[in-house]
Amino acid sequence: MKNSIAAKLKQVPANYLKVGMDPHKKKHAAVIMQQDAVVRRKFKFANSRNGFEEMLRLVELEREKAGAAGVIFGIESGTHHWKALAYFLDQRGYAFRLLNPFTLKRNREGDDINRQKNDYRDAEAAAELLRTGKFVNSRLLYGTYAEIRATYNAYDRLNTERSRNKNQLKGLLDMVFPEFTSVFKDICGKTAMAVLQTCAIPQYMINMSIDDFIAIVRKTFAGRALLVKKLISLYEGAKASTGITAGAIGMAEEMALIVSRLKLNIEQSTQVIQRLKVLVDSIPESSYVLSIRGLGYITVAAIWAGLGPVSNYSNAKQWVKMAGTNPTEKESAGKASSLTPMSKHGRSSLRGGLWAASVSVLCHNDDFRVWAKDRQERPANANPLHRREVIGAAINRLLHLIYALVTKKHMYQPNRPSMVTVAA
């Protein structure tokens, strides 16, 4: 096994000053440290262009005093405040490395028995981790890849918001009109949302005729064809509803507000999806990935948003580690676990996108479906996989396949059964 710490230490020359950074919203803390762990200077600087320039001036001044050949920065990546500083340093040509906030916390607590915590202490711990090679190699994204990551993050947040609104809507319906979800399985359907915006509770429906009820819903409906049969079933269910009536009017008004947010969310998601398609098409390697049956624009966008340029990697194993889907071994006191779960140390958004992509591929791609069936049905002594284990293994297989297609610039060719000549 390669010694990753030794490889990382080679990236930090001994005659370089190490600058640990603890970024915050208004002011960042910095600690300048030598290779022998001697702290040369501590200072704070504003989170602004002038503050960054002043920080570089102080660092360069200290480098000249120490006679160091260069400077390398270690930045704690606990919040989003590190990004502006990292891009500034990258554009100025200064090397930097990111530090895991969990690793930094454990290292700081291990050094200080009294659990001292302040900005300078965190910056000093960052410099110490940089000095000992316990950092994370990271590259900033520019151009199309930066745009696709930002756009996919917006898409992901819209999905989360839509799920939250749907759950709130279902919770309210369970109280005032539980029969609603048995008629409309999808409460985000256009007919269902038209009902929820006009007369969402049984009290409104039973006080009017069925024709009036349909006419009121039709005025709000914005789709192609109104589902009249479901409206009739809903009207009949309202007559015998077990929903509570206390506070029902207030909850109906809240449901109308939630439906308005859902409609806006759907419109925004449509705009973001169109933007993602344009960005995916602008990446030349996307054509090779889209040739895999079962993958679409959203899943490909998730892959590029999480991985970035292919040129940043030397093999497919690095993709697997970035996704955090690499199997991990657990052993203690000579006893090893029979299971090897995912490490989940990579990007969670990438892992979520790849999980959805693998499920789609297993459903629509014959090659993957046969491969998965073979692993599920193999003998007990050959370690058969369960359904979720197959999906995890399919993620890694999919990543290796995509890497091969992209690097070799080949379209995906499904495996075809060999031709068998049948005698007449």
In which residue are the tokens 């049956």 written? Answer: 293
For residue 353, give both structure tokens: 């996108």
Q: C-alpha dihedral over 387, 342, 359, 186, to 10 degrees? A: 90
Rg (alpha carbons) of the chain, rounded to whole number = 29
Tell me what pLDDT residue 422 has. Answer: 40
Tokens 């040369």 correspond to: 40
Which of 232, 197, 369, 399 has the alpha carbon at shortest distance from 307? 399
CATH 1.10.287.4070 in the chain, residues? 147-277
Which residue in this structure is represented by tokens 């759950």? 167
Contact 340, 346 (CB under 8 A): no
Architecture in CATH for domain 147-277: Orthogonal Bundle (1.10)
CA 30/CA 269 separation, integer angstroms: 41
DSSP 309-366: -GGG-SSHHHHHHHHT-SB---EETTEE-S---B---S-HHHHHHHHHHHHHHHHH-H
CATH 3.30.420.40 range(s) for the chain read 13-140
What is the distance between the alpha carbons of residues 274 and 54, in angstroms, rounded to a whole number?
A: 43
Q: Tell me if 60 sits within 8 A of 46, measured CB to CB.
A: no
Dump the DSSP string for 81-99.
THHHHHHHHHHHT-EEEEE
Per-residue pLDDT of the chain (424 residues; tens, 9 = 90+): 356 888 888 888 889 999 999 999 999 999 999 998 899 999 999 999 999 999 999 999 999 999 999 999 999 998 899 999 999 999 999 999 999 888 888 888 777 656 667 889 899 999 999 999 889 888 899 999 999 999 999 999 999 999 999 999 999 999 999 999 999 999 999 999 999 999 889 999 988 999 999 999 999 898 888 999 999 999 999 998 999 999 999 999 999 999 999 999 999 999 999 999 999 999 999 999 999 999 999 999 999 999 999 999 999 999 999 999 988 877 766 666 667 788 888 889 999 999 999 999 999 999 999 999 999 998 888 888 888 889 999 999 999 999 999 999 999 988 754 333 344 3
Residue for token pair 């270690």: 74
Are 216 and 191 in contact by the 8 Å Cβ rule? The answer is: no
Q: Which of 166, 182, 173 is nearest to 243 (CA)?
A: 173
Tokens of 279: 């960005």
- Residue 424 has a pLDDT of 36
pTM: 0.86
Among 336, 301, 281, which Cα is nearest to 148's? Answer: 301
Q: Which amino acid is at 413?
A: Q
Residue 85 φ/ψ, nearest 5 degrees:
-65, -40
Q: Residue holding tokens 């069936």?
A: 373
- In the CATH hierarchy, which top-level class contains the domain 13-140? alpha beta
Show the tokens assigned to 346. 């990579």
Chain length of the chain: 424
Q: What pLDDT shows up at residue 161?
A: 96
Token pair 């659990």: residue: 115
Closest CA to 133 of 294, 266, 308, 3: 3
Q: Which residues of 131-168 are buried (b: 16+ CB within 10 A; e: fewer)?
A: bebbbeeeeebeeebebbbebbebbbebeebbeebbee
Is there a contact between 422 and 374 (Cβ–Cβ < 8 Å)? Answer: no
pLDDT for position 67: 94
